[in-house]
Amino acid sequence: MRNSAFTELRSRILPQQLEAAAAEDKLVAVIFITFPTLKEINATRGYAVGDLILERALSKVAALARNDDCLVVTSGSKFCLILPLVAHEAILEMVLCRLDDDLSAPYEIDSETIFMPGKLGAGFGSGVDIQPDDLLATTELALATVTKSTSNWHLIEAKSSASNSLNDLQSELRSALEQNKLQLYLQPQVLLDTGACVGFEALTRWPHQNRFVSPDIFIPYAERSELIGLITRWTLHNSLRQLKALDSRPGTTAPLSVSLNVSGRCIADSSFLNTVGNALAIWDVSPERLTIELTETAFLADLQTAARACNHLKQELGVKISLDDFGMGFSGLEILQKVDADELKLDKSFIAKLCSEERSRKIVSALIKLADSLNISTVAEGIEDPETRDILRSMSGHLGQGYLFAKPLSENDVLPWLQTQSPS
């Protein structure tokens, strides 16, 4: 069994495995495993117990994996297991049943019996027809389906159902965009010292069939076509419009800022600079109030070109650049060396463990010092409790974002929320 990071898996391992499977007329399967009750266990029994059970769950999955399977922890609590060269779909169903059985078994911790079953979403396909991203998107779809159902696993074939559902989803998303049905949510970012709100991160929501489709699901779909450019432009214009509207709120103090998530496909597009410049002019917002957030995946395909595009955007327009989910991937430091970043967003997987893990505290403290020495500010994301905020304060972290301060707010909720904040 091999361990590897998700980015490496997507860009290198999965393409190789699809090719090998195609040559032998076999299947490749990807299984995502999440634990919906982990949050509750963390909250009621503490992070140490949650972490311990998670470790044991990982051991259970590792024990079932064969030598050439690949197991990755994609975020602190989501596992990804890849099975190359599977002979038949029925074998996969057997693996899923075994995994479900093992993960549904109770854990004995300090003579207490605790249950933490997994939800398993699986996608499979054969290499000639499908791309790694198709397979991963199918697996996301399977996970989203199983998360809503009472069963613990769900299996979807990438070849037939993914291409159909991909087309369906893309055309539904396109018409949602054309009918202006997407919604903008803004999550406050606050000064850790005072709690004062200084700005927001723009997060896009898609209301679809009586529920919200998570951006974690529809953004990867959109990224495979020009739809992502249209969504980014929609989010950009609406965030700036909202920012401008907030300028006229009563008792206005310092101007607020907004952070926009931008994917690699957009930053690599030569027209993006004009799109941003035009939007700033139309809404009459000064450029330093707009931050462009990029994750490591935006730099994966071509680091030099993406880094040049970022630096150009900053020099030409004066917008700020933020490196999102910093610390999660392999090449954060390499990107930092090439991109003239203004901000590092410290990934929530580190922040979530600040109270329980000495090691995470050391890493976060070192990242804040690194940022300070480069004159870069930091945003700690995913702060859910006052203890975590206090640790970050003691480390001189600058900004914070997370459910402790506010969940992402709908456009109508932003102003009332701001009014509940005492002036500082």
Least distance from C-beta 329 to ligand C2E, angstroms?
A: 13
Least distance from C-beta 35 to Ca ion, angstroms?
A: 21
Q: Does 388 bind ligand C2E (CB under 6 A)?
A: no
Q: Does 204 bind ligand C2E (CB under 6 A)?
A: yes
Q: Does 41 bind ligand C2E (CB under 6 A)?
A: no
Least distance from C-beta 215 to ligand C2E, angstroms?
A: 3
Supply 139's token pair. Answer: 């697996």
Least distance from C-beta 244 to Ca ion, angstroms?
A: 22
**8 Å CB contact between 184 and 239:** yes
**8 Å CB contact between 229 and 267:** no
Nearer to ligand C2E, 235 or 242 (CB): 235
Q: Does 77 bind ligand C2E (CB under 6 A)?
A: no
Nearer to ligand C2E, 126 or 187 (CB): 187
Please state, in angstroms and rounded to a whole number, the distance separating the CA atoms of residues 389 and 205: 27
Kindly indicate which of the ranges 5-13, 167-175, 208-216, 248-256 contains the residues binding ligand C2E, using the contact rule CB under 6 A: 208-216
| Residue 227 CA: distances (Å) to CA of 131, 219, 234 | 19, 9, 10
Nearer to Ca ion, 261 or 263 (CB): 261
Nearer to ligand C2E, 35 or 153 (CB): 35
Residue 134 contact, options ligand C2E, Ca ion, none, Cβ 5-8 Å cut-off depending on partner type: none
Please state, in angstroms and rounded to a whole number, the distance separating the CA atoms of residues 314 and 293: 12
Nearer to Ca ion, 152 or 297 (CB): 297
# binding residues, ligand C2E (CB under 6 A): 23
Least distance from C-beta 54 to Ca ion, angstroms?
A: 21
Least distance from C-beta 203 to Ca ion, angstroms?
A: 8
Residue 380 contact, options ligand C2E, Ca ion, none, Cβ 5-8 Å cut-off depending on partner type: none
Least distance from C-beta 242 to Ca ion, angstroms?
A: 17
Binding mask 177-196 for ligand C2E (x = CB under 6 A): ----------x---------
Kindly indicate which of the ranges 110-118, 151-159, 375-383, 390-398 contains the residues binding ligand C2E, using the contact rule CB under 6 A: 375-383
Q: Does 212 bind ligand C2E (CB under 6 A)?
A: no
Q: Secondary structure of the chain in the HEC alphabet?
A: CEECCHHHHHHHHHHHHHHHHHHCCCEEEEEEEECCCHHHHHHHHCHHHHHHHHHHHHHHHHHHCCCCCEEEEEECCEEEEEEEEECCHHHHHHHHHHHHHHHHCCEEECCEEECCCCEEEEEEECCCCCCHHHHHHHHHHHHHHHHHCCCCEEEEEHHHHHHHHHHHHHHHHHHHHHCCCCEEEEEEEEECCCCCEEEEEEEEEEEECCEEECHHHHHHHHCCCCHHHHHHHHHHHHHHHHHHHHHCCCCCCCCCEEEEECCHHHHCCCCHHHHHHHHHHHHCCCHHHEEEEECCHHHHCCHHHHHHHHHHHHHHHCCEEEEEEECCCCCHHHHHHHCCCCEEEECHHHHCCCCCCHHHHHHHHHHHHHHHHCCCEEEEECCCCHHHHHHHHHCCCCEEECCCCCCCEEHHHHHHHHHHCCCC
Task: Centre a 10 Å sphere on the Cβ of residue 148 and count the other Cβ atoms it contains.
Answer: 9
Q: Does 203 bind ligand C2E (CB under 6 A)?
A: yes
- Binding positions for ligand C2E, 214-273, rule CB under 6 A: 214-216, 219, 231-232, 235, 261, 263
Q: Does 403 bind ligand C2E (CB under 6 A)?
A: yes
Binding mask 331-360 for ligand C2E (x = CB under 6 A): -----------------x------------
Supply 201's token pair. Answer: 């991160």
Residue 135 contact, options Ca ion, ligand C2E, none, Cβ 5-8 Å cut-off depending on partner type: none
- 344, 310, 312, 309: which is closest to 329 by C-alpha? 344
Least distance from C-beta 203 to ligand C2E, angstroms?
A: 4
Residue type, 198: V
- Which residues here bind Ca ion, judged by CB under 5 A? 261, 293, 324-325
Nearer to ligand C2E, 14 or 231 (CB): 231
Residue type, 298: A
Least distance from C-beta 295 to Ca ion, angstroms?
A: 7
Query: Contact with ligand C2E (CB under 6 A): which of 83, 408, 409, 414?
Result: 408
Least distance from C-beta 381 to ligand C2E, angstroms?
A: 6
Residues forming the site for ligand C2E (CB under 6 A): 187, 203-204, 214-216, 219, 231-232, 235, 261, 263, 324-325, 348, 381-384, 401-403, 408
